[in-house]
Structure 1
Amino acid sequence: MARYLYFFAFCQFVLGPFADNPCPCEDPRLCKQITDEKDFEVYAFDVGGKNWQYYNWTQVTTVATFGKYDPELMCFAHSKGARVVLKGDVSLKEILDDSRRDAWVTKQVELAKKQFMDGINLDIEQAVEESSPEYYALTALVDATTEAFHREIPGSQVSFDVAWSPKCIDKRCYDYTMIADRCDFLFVMSYDEQSQIWGECIASANAPYNQTLEGYMDYIKMNIDPKKLVMGVPWYGYDYPCLNFTRLNECVISKVPFRGAPCSDAAGRQVPYKQIMKQLNSSTSGRMWDNVQKAPYYMYMDSGGQVHQVWYDDPQSISLRAAYVKNLGLRGIGMWNANLLDYTDDPIAKQQTKDMWDALQP
């Protein structure tokens, strides 16, 4: 009995407000929230499975869990001093009412406590018109979420995902300045930059270098502190079937409209980096490099004789962006998503995976 009371008191001391829920870790201290701030944020999105065992934990500072909750991941991440945060997504129509909004926030805080999480990543990505009821409701949601998490889980982290540019990309006309002020930082999704193609309908880079950098300058011009921005890079590419070629290696793609634009990357399909690396050696072109967009690509022919062009990012293109992160003094870098590399024992794959992780550090 005395031993039980000692253990209970120990858990109360270590876990504080979380002690009402049983800790799933062998060492109950691992259920204690991570509160220390890192000098450089490396933000990893995890979509489920067990690949997290092979991440570069010397770099990872935060894991956003977009798959099924895995207590083993939480325990392991905490053992490495890394945060684990919830995914937060809700229809803005649902939170136009203040009471329903507050109820949603309360539910997220309770879930974070129950699962010994260290915060939340708000991934909304819904079309919003400027000065609409949803426009103000979204800012209020971020404000309420941050206030509740910081109050109920001291030292917790609240981040918000934004498009590569604040210029109403995909009709997401948010109050970016206010949102950045109300949360801990913005995760800038510097990918899917062809979601709206307004010019020629041709295949191009997922994250063209100059266009990507221009997006950050636009955020900073809105008086958003660079330390409030984490750069997201893609660990995947796009495979586009080519209708024909207009000029040297320019692949004309089908017209698939999206949120007002006549063409979009929906004409292609997303391909994981690990699959790209397996296909590259058998491609008809081999790896090619676009010096304007500063991105690699290649071409191949499918079994039906259709020519495809695949645009992607690799250590060379990612290193250029990581250097920019350092030079501009951004808060850090991250990726969508960490599961897209090859974590098998194949020696070539292991080196490719290591190179991608290493590219995050300028």
Structure 2
Amino acid sequence: MMEIYTVQQGDTLWRIANRLDADLAQLFLANGLTASSPLVPGQALAVPDRFFQYIVQEGDQLGTIAARLGVLAQALINANQLRNPASLFPGQVLFIPYRNHTVKQGETLYGIARTYGADMGAIMQANRLPGTALSAGQVLRIPAPRRPVKEVNAYTTGFGAAGTAEVYQLGPYFTYLSPFRHTFREDGSLTPLNDRSVLQAAEANGVLPLLILANFTSEGFSSDLAARLLRNEALQETLISNLLATIRQKGYRGVNFDFEYVYPEDRDRYTAFLRRVARRFRPEGLLVSTALAPKISGTQPGLLYEAHDYGAHGAIVDFVILMTYEWGWAGGRPRAIAPIPEVRRVLDYAVTVIPRNKIMMGAPLYGRDWRIPWRAGTTARTISPHEALSLAARYGADIRYHPTDQAPYFRYTDASGQQHEVWFEDARSMRAKINLLNEYGLRGISYWVLGNPFPENWVVQQALIQARKR
């Protein structure tokens, strides 16, 4: 089974690998480390499952990997839904569907199953065993533990070479890719987006692209822009026609409406607009979805929340993305970006009004660095998980893990004497989120946002769920 190891004072990666009986090279790759990478006390390391996960190394080819692991190459292709088996990337996490085990004298089926973290009944079924008796020298096929199949969405804002390369590399882990964003003008036309290369990368990995449409202007999300649309049915028809034309031209497979700060009085108009979109999109086999603010009740006050009718959206659209993050927002006090108790409160309400198989739970792939003591009007800096680790190493900070929020954090003092507090994501916090997804039986998970190096997350995801490919 995949493990997560918390670094202790004086640890080295070599000692950790020996202690855990882990492959040192695999440990480096799983955590994006190099020989010069410092380890920080409290840092969480993703330790790949030595039986059922393999991290692709430089120069690896699928055939040599399969031979080394003793599995069929086609079995690896099928288990990992590889569209182009000849193009593997260093750091790519492969799920191994089975391993072969030669029975030694005195071994029992129970003991073998425990060693591999496998189900004894599944081993018996895979090998058509009439009973539990084994013979020395007998070769058993050990099937990997079954993982729930979930849909996975990832937003991206990177449309250059680096962003495109990231989609090529991470595409095997996704069901959907959501390039952020298109918006619309007052005449119902769409603003352009230079998304061609990331759409090609998505297609190469069998990832369905979703067109994100937001009520966005140069000043941010606009309540007035949404109102102009929602209060004019003729304008809506024009916009929908333009959406369909763009989707057909670019090869999108559906639309996700990210309408934020909609006036409360436009709540029912937003619902009616979604019904109009669904009537036009469904005959063409296109998906309709929405992004929703994280509400804990149907009467929650506030401009961000009131126009988002959870029950109506759940009835109309194919799925919703709950934006269960940003409690630790850039303009607010230091805290976890997505504290588990807060996420639970949103899910507890959501599942009462939206079918579970229509809920995508949001998850952040970033952290924030606040100056403390915190003062109103200051803005935290958004950082990647690995940038957080670099800060902790540079300033000699030990990383702590909040047991309730289930998120890592630390404090440091910079060269100017300014104190900081950092909250971010690591392998432990992402495991907690994916476990929550499985516990609630939701449709899937939606990441905001690519562009932040976080290789540990994909090791965790591959161990706990299988991304659905449509």
TM over 0.5, yes or no? yes
The 3 A distance-change label for structure 1 pair 284 and 202 is farther
Number of residues of Structure 1 aligned to a counterpart in Structure 2: 287
Using the TM superposition, give the Cα deviation of residue 170 of structure 1 relative to its aligned residue in structure 2, in angstroms.
Answer: 5.4
- Of residues 184, 192, 197 in structure 1, which corresponds to 2:318? 184
Corresponding residue for 2:179?
Answer: 65
Using the TM superposition, give the Cα deviation of residue 289 of structure 1 relative to its aligned residue in structure 2, in angstroms.
Answer: 0.9
- Of residues 359, 365, 370 in structure 2, which corresponds to 1:235? 365
Q: 1:216 & 1:140 partners in 2: Cα distance?
A: 25
Q: Which aligned segments of 4 or more residues in structure 1 are displaced greater than 6 angstroms?
A: none
The 3 A distance-change label for structure 1 pair 238 and 113 is same
Structure with greater Cα Rg = 2
Using the TM superposition, give the Cα deviation of residue 55 of structure 1 relative to its aligned residue in structure 2, in angstroms.
Answer: 3.4
The 3 A distance-change label for structure 1 pair 55 and 143 is farther
Alignment of 1:1-362 (within 5 A): 39-48=149-158, 49=160, 50-66=164-180, 68-90=193-215, 91-95=225-229, 96-129=231-264, 132=265, 134-151=266-283, 153-154=284-285, 156-166=286-296, 167-168=300-301, 171-173=304-306, 174-195=308-329, 202-221=333-352, 223-243=353-373, 253-256=374-377, 267-341=379-453, 353-361=454-462, 362=464
Determine helix, strand or coil for the equivalent of 2:170.
coil
Deviations 1:37-92 (A, max 9, x none): x9421101111222434533322110001164333332332232210111111321
Using the TM superposition, give the Cα deviation of residue 196 of structure 1 relative to its aligned residue in structure 2, in angstroms.
Answer: 11
Task: Tell me, yes or no, if the aligned pair for 2:178 and 2:212 is still in contact at 8 Å.
Answer: yes
Q: 1:103 & 1:180 partners in 2: Cα distance?
A: 25
Q: 1:78 & 1:278 partners in 2: Cα distance?
A: 34
Determine helix, strand or coil for the equivalent of 1:158.
strand
Q: Equivalent pairs: percent with the same residue?
A: 21
The 3 A distance-change label for structure 1 pair 168 and 240 is same
Deviations 1:263-295 (A, max 9, x none): xxx642322334223323113422111112111
Q: 1:232 & 1:146 partners in 2: Cα distance?
A: 23
Q: TM (normalized to structure 1)?
A: 0.73
Determine helix, strand or coil for the equivalent of 1:292.
coil
Give the alignment's Cα RMSD to 1 decimal: 2.3
Structure 2 segments unaligned to the other structure (5+ residues): 1-147, 182-192, 216-224, 465-470
Structure 1 segments unaligned to the other structure (5+ residues): 1-37, 244-252, 257-265, 342-352
The 3 A distance-change label for structure 1 pair 202 and 87 is closer
Q: 2:165 & 2:295 partners in 1: Cα distance?
A: 31
Q: 1:233 & 1:219 partners in 2: Cα distance?
A: 16
Larger CA deviation: 118-127 vs 272-281: 272-281
Q: 2:425 & 2:381 partners in 1: Cα distance?
A: 15
What letter matches 1:58 in structure 2?
A: P
Corresponding residue for 1:4?
Answer: none
Q: TM (normalized to structure 2)?
A: 0.57
Larger CA deviation: 139-148 vs 66-75: 66-75
What letter matches 2:202 in structure 1?
A: A
Using the TM superposition, give the Cα deviation of residue 314 of structure 1 relative to its aligned residue in structure 2, in angstroms.
Answer: 1.3
Q: 1:54 & 1:310 partners in 2: Cα distance?
A: 30
